[in-house]
Chain A
Amino acid sequence: GAVVSQHPSRVICKSGTSVKIECRSLDFQATTMFWYRQFPKQSLMLMATSNEGSKATYEQGVEKDKFLINHASLTLSTLTVTSAHPEDSSFYICSASPAGADTQYFGPGTRLTVL
């Protein structure tokens, strides 16, 4: 149980374009999902907390207009990187917790490369 999927696994795009990443909880409902960014050989940095039916909560230093988050259902959250630039190239990972649980289960991640 507690499986989280993410799509796409890899994406290469041109500078200035937008990229949408989907995160799904497959066998449980998640009122809250989390989006992380991980640069090579670094730790996971929380970008934002995605709340079903309400606005996401962004961490300090993360531009909410650049990283658009939508959590329209209890099993799906999306992250859209708008006007992507090479410095946005990174590994983006989502996570979710079943209701009432502390444990976060991670998606497989999306490697974004912006040319």
Chain B
Amino acid sequence: GENVEQHPSTLSVQEGDSAVIKCTYSDSASNYFPWYKQELGKRPQLIIDIRSNVGEKKDQRIAVTLNKTAKHFSLHITETQPEDSAVYFCAASIGEKLTFGTGTRLTIIP
């Protein structure tokens, strides 16, 4: 089955700086890659996603890049703000089934 690795597990960034989280996946058949943000005790919220026919996607301060050849994708958050502090999960999907990465706890330092 699919295996998704995520790094780093924790990340502290000064407010206003950029944060980058990286994931790799094992199954080349995966074709959909969402990123979720989860605050403590709450549901995961989709923040951005990318499909395998696209190399990059941007939504305001958030961007995702996908390298199908290397089987890795990354989340980029620019101009970080305190409210960006949360746990971020990447995921890879074949059909309907999502496999999640292990999560990155992002802390924005004021």
Residues of A within 8 A of B (CB): 32, 34, 42-46, 49, 91, 93, 95, 97, 102-109, 111
Contacts and interface: CB of A to CB of B under 8 A. Distances in A.
Interface residues of B, number: 21
A103 B34 contact: yes
Chain B interface SS verdict (over half): strand
B35 to A, nearest CB: 11
A43 B101 contact: yes
B109 interface: no
Contact of A102 (B36, B45, B93): B93
B89 interface: yes
Given A43-B100, A44-B100, A106 B43 contact: yes
B32 to A, nearest CB: 4
Contacts of A34: 96-98
A49 B44 contact: no
